[in-house]
Amino acid sequence: MRIAEPSVAAVPPVEKQDLLKVLACGAVDDGKSTLLGRLMADAGLVPEDQMEAVAAASGEGGFDYALLLDGLSAEREQGITIDVAYRYFATARRSFIVVDAPGHEQFTRNMATGASACDVAVLLVDGRKGLLPQTRRHAAIAALMGIRDIVLAVNKMDLVGHDEQVFRAIVDAFRSHADSLGLVVHPIPVSAALGENVVHPAAAMPWYAGPPLLSLLETLAPVRPSRGSLRFPVQRVCRPNLDFRGYQGTVAGGRVRRGDTVVALPGGQPSRITRIVTFDGDLEEAGVGEAVTLVLDREIEAGRGTVFACPENPPAAVDHLVARLVWLSDMPLATGRELLMRLGNDLVPCRITALRNRLDIVRLVEDPATMLETNDIGTASIATARPVVVERYDDNRSLGSFLLIDRLTNQTLAAGMVMEAVNAAANVYWQNFDTETADRPTARRQKPAILWLTGPSGAGKSTVANALERRLTAAGCHAYVLDGDNVRHGLNRDLGFSPPERAENVRRLAEVAHILADAGLIAIVAAIAPYARDRANARALARDVPFYEIFVDTPLDVCAARDPKGLYRRARQGLVENFTGVGSPYEPPEAPDLHLDGSSETPEQEADRILGLLVTKGHILAA
Amino acid sequence: MLEAEAIHILRETEAVFRRPVLLYSIGKDSSVLLHLARKAFYPGPIPFKVVHVDTTWKFREMIAFRDEQARALGLDLVVHTNEEGLAAGLSPVTHGAGLYTHAMKTVALRQVLDRLGADAAIGGARRDEEKSRAKERIFSVRAPGHRWDPKMQRPEPWGLANTQLVEGETMRVFPLSNWTEHDVWAYIRAEAIPVVPLYFARERPVVRRGDNLIMVNDDRLPLEPGEVPQMMRVRFRTLGCYPLTAAIRSDAETLDAVIAELHGTRRSERAGRLIDGERSESIEAKKMEGYF
């Protein structure tokens, strides 16, 4: 077998040379950084000064190839790769971007991020340890993100006597897992430490007839850009003067040709492409990945977020979709909270309406689940505030992938892949009824509102609510108390006290309060609702109903001294988990609509002040 | 598709931020960035201010080149110098590279971004330049005070960026993230982009200090006893402040010769940057403070 000697390209023109994006993954300690360092060093791609720096930093164990790669000092201290790092090199045959993914299980999210951009994966296995759960997990994530070719590099062959049987056993064990994932496996026995089958063939393993790693990577095919029909998501409108209006963006599917008729989605207004403008002159046509400016034959309603598409086969514009989510954040998934979805060039409010399952990526089975945490992968239903133009991830990655962003912290919560676009509005109609809130008999005496009493356990919320309801009823008004504890006996009895369950508890209370207000009542909610974000969500769910946050501010020591239900005592004995004020935080409202002092005011005085607020705001005439 | 990717990123930046600026260092990467910005917004003009942080210690050729480019391209150029640093007479020669770089580059950059109310700053940094840059995001969020926290970086699956900012946060944007030094030179040749003549070999007055060749650009560089500037054929692979940027011996007078030399070299690009070498993590440490 003859192996072509790799060499630095003889000035390949930029753009023209074929590029392969390679994901390097595998469990920690399987030798990934060493393999990549060796690959680049043996291919003659590491500058001398870097080799010298690493030689100086290497300990007594000899030249440490891994030091060529690990970039951030936190990582060098811990001796592991935390973040995704990008390596660039070129041989005479092609250019490579190697996306170096971390091996630890707690960094699965970084691995998924790395995989999203890659054509092929190199999966490392330690020949002494064989397949680990993390090996299977990485193969599954690579497959989910759309990678088809996987190089199974069985490393440290020198430490298992270069034994063919060891290699075969690992490859056979991996094959059934790979088959169920639809992966094409390319197995190679290597020793990164000795440089065997990395760039040069290994004399010690004559039983392996295939190419070394670098030669193999020079021949694997990149993932084809989605061909399909035209998709052009508009990034921005270019209007330098009154005579020119161009739509700027990057072609995300198919080809655009001058003279083509396109439809603008959502909406579907048709128009014709009159020019494809670039700085270097007009084009007749442009394909996937090209950044161009389109000029149309007429004025239509289009802007950032609009997608121009081929009229015969347009993508769907829907307000409901089913997607696979990779949970990236430390903040767990909570259904019902309002989030932002970044999909294509669109940014739209959305909420996760239901979590369908969580994927066990080692066993490859979907288990029922109520929450997703960091690094989890699951399937969820999502509703958007207005229609978005989407496609299935398998059909078009640009219009089939998205981010979920928390509205308060701007954290990126999840990466999503569209499995199904559902036009919920087409299936579930909003039933309009003729009777409006303002027509109801209650409207003669009151304007509905939601009063949300928040404060720690024992602050006196229920007592104040009780006094308030009694006073309102006596005045001929219609009010109803939703007590957090009571609702947990029925509607919310499936919920515990973890942060996501508390969020769901608050969401349901807010929805019921909204229904009560819609029926014309003054809804009084007495619930701890310890997290500011959940209370903000409750306010958002009130929609057009006036919402008042009332802080029953009683110091914790007073609450604990009252301890009407004996809960503080039990929490301090460790008998109650996640108890607000003991094992779980209470975030006091920063700007409540009404601030009650629970340590100095009596419940009747507090009720008086709330009634005063209702009068001032025009909800009731007088109490 | 590097060009198309960079154009996409530039358009994205303009579309989602209120007041983006383009940081212009006058070097080859900045020249490429400017050219790409012209392409991205054509037939419109470059829609943001072009900011140069002038330490007052740049090579004279660089300043001349900057002003000529600003005229030729009609740039909305903003030049900023840390006036307190200047008044205090901070110099790389007498105050050491660390203090000087912090005051005249890092602090100066923070000052001008704050003054302009810029919520995004586009720069020409590339991931292949240095190890800690290899992990930089394309859209890199900075906490209030322009601080970079490597642990708070947002994932960018499928190249999708979360560009939402809260008050006080800003974004650094790197459209050339995926370019290599080779790509930059090949693109400069293919597009005939003008660059500072210092990148090409000529006879220049230099003194040798250790392994480094330092060009005598003006009379502010104190010569050590026995040092006599000598004429040597040199060029620069990277350009910064002149006492902190070493030249290399070279006969490469043309673009083709520079590219050919690049393929023969065994030294990395930033080997000529004297400030980087202080500690192996030093770019990372500087970035945390808001360095570019």
The residue type at A225: P
pLDDT at residue B291 in the model: 65
**What is the model's pLDDT at position B88?**
86
Give pLDDT, residue A80.
Answer: 45
Residues 179..218 of B with a Cβ closer than 8 Å to A: which? 180, 182-183, 186-187, 190
Q: What is the C-alpha separation between B43 and A238, in angstroms, rounded?
A: 8
For residues A257 and A276, give the distance between their C-alpha atoms in angstroms, rounded to a whole number.
8
Comparing A293 with A62, which gets the higher pLDDT? A293
Q: pLDDT tens digit string along A248-307?
A: 999 999 999 999 999 999 988 999 999 999 999 999 999 999 999 999 999 998 999 999
CATH number of the domain located at residue range(s) A19-217 in this protein = 3.40.50.300
Work out whether the CA dihedral A453, A458, A464, A469 comes out positive or negative. Answer: positive
Domain spans of chain B? Answer: 2-181+281-288, 197-277
Indicate if the pLDDT at residue A578 is higher than 90: no
Q: With beta carbons less than 8 A apart as the criterion, state whether A116 and B155 touch.
A: no
* B11 touches A: beta carbon within 8 Å: yes
Average pLDDT over residues A180-195: 94
What is the structure's pLDDT at B61?
A: 92
CA distance A240 to B53: 29
Contacts of A478 (CB under 8 A, 6+ apart): A442, A445, A446, A472, A520, A521, A522
pLDDT class for A67, splitting at 50, 70, 90? confident
pLDDT at position A13, please?
Answer: 39
d(CA A326, CA A107): 12
Q: Which of A358-372, A421-435, A457-471 has the lowest mean pLDDT?
A: A421-435
Q: Point out the residue among A14, A48, A70 whose CB comes nearest to the CB of B190.
A: A14
Residue B279: per-residue pLDDT = 45
> What is the mean predicted confidence (pLDDT) over A311-340?
89
Fold of A231-309: Elongation Factor Tu (Ef-tu); domain 3 (2.40.30)
Written out in words, the top-level CATH class of the domain with range A316-425 is mainly beta
Binning pLDDT at 50, 70 and 90, where does residue A222 land? Answer: confident
What's the pLDDT at A103? 66
Residues B8, A235: C-beta atoms closer than 8 Å: yes
Residues 6+ apart with CB under 8 A from A10: A92, B263
Q: What is the pLDDT of residues A424-459, one digit of tens each?
A: 444 444 455 566 666 666 666 788 999 999 998 888
From chain B, the residues in CB contact with A304 under 8 A are: 15
3 state DSSP class of A365: strand
Question: Contact A183/A139 with Cβ under 8 angstroms?
Answer: yes
Q: How confident is the model at residue A15 (pLDDT cuts 50, 70, 90)?
A: very low
The complex scores an ipTM of: 0.91
The reported pLDDT for the residue numbered B280 is 44
Q: Residue A406: list chain B partners with CB under 8 A.
A: none
**Count of Cβ atoms closer than 10 Å to residue B93 Cβ:** 13
**For chain B, percent helix, then strand, then coil, each to nearest 5?**
40, 15, 40
Contact B178 A236 (CB under 8 A): no
| The architecture CATH gives domain A444-616 | 3-Layer(aba) Sandwich (3.40)
Q: Write down the domain spans for chain A.
A: 19-217, 231-309, 316-425, 444-616
Least confident among A128-132, A370-374, A574-578: A574-578
CA B129 vs CA A41, A47, A536, B25: distances in Å: 17, 12, 44, 15
Q: What is the pLDDT of residue B22?
A: 97
Substitution target in A67, A80, A83, A290 with the highest count of B β-carbons within 10 Å is A83
Nearest CA in chain A to B257: A11
What is residue A509's predicted lDDT score, i.e. its pLDDT? 94
By Cβ distance, the residue of B4, B151, B183 closest to A250 is B4
Q: Quote the pLDDT of residue A501.
A: 84
Can you tell me the distance from the alpha carbon of B240 to that of A610, in angstroms, rounded to the nearest whole number? Answer: 66
Q: Is the pLDDT of residue A76 over 70?
A: no
Closest Cβ–Cβ partner in B2, B128, B155 for A412: B155
pLDDT of residue A12: 37
The pLDDT of residue A105 is: 64
**Positions of chain B with pLDDT under 50:** 277-280
- Report, as an integer, the average pLDDT of A40-55: 81
Predicted TM-score (pTM) of the model is 0.74
Which span out of A267-276, A483-492, A553-562 was modeled with the highest average pLDDT?
A267-276
B70-85 pLDDT, tens digit per residue, is 999 999 999 999 999 8
Asked if the domains A19-217 and A316-425 are classified in one and the same CATH topology, the answer is no
For the record, the structure tokens of A429 come out as 């109609």
Average pLDDT over chain A reads 86
B 94-113 → A contacts, CB under 8 A: none
Q: Which of B11, B141, B263 to mutate against chain A (most A CBs within 10 Å)? A: B11
Structure-token match 């991205």, residue found: B40
CATH class of B2-181+281-288: alpha beta
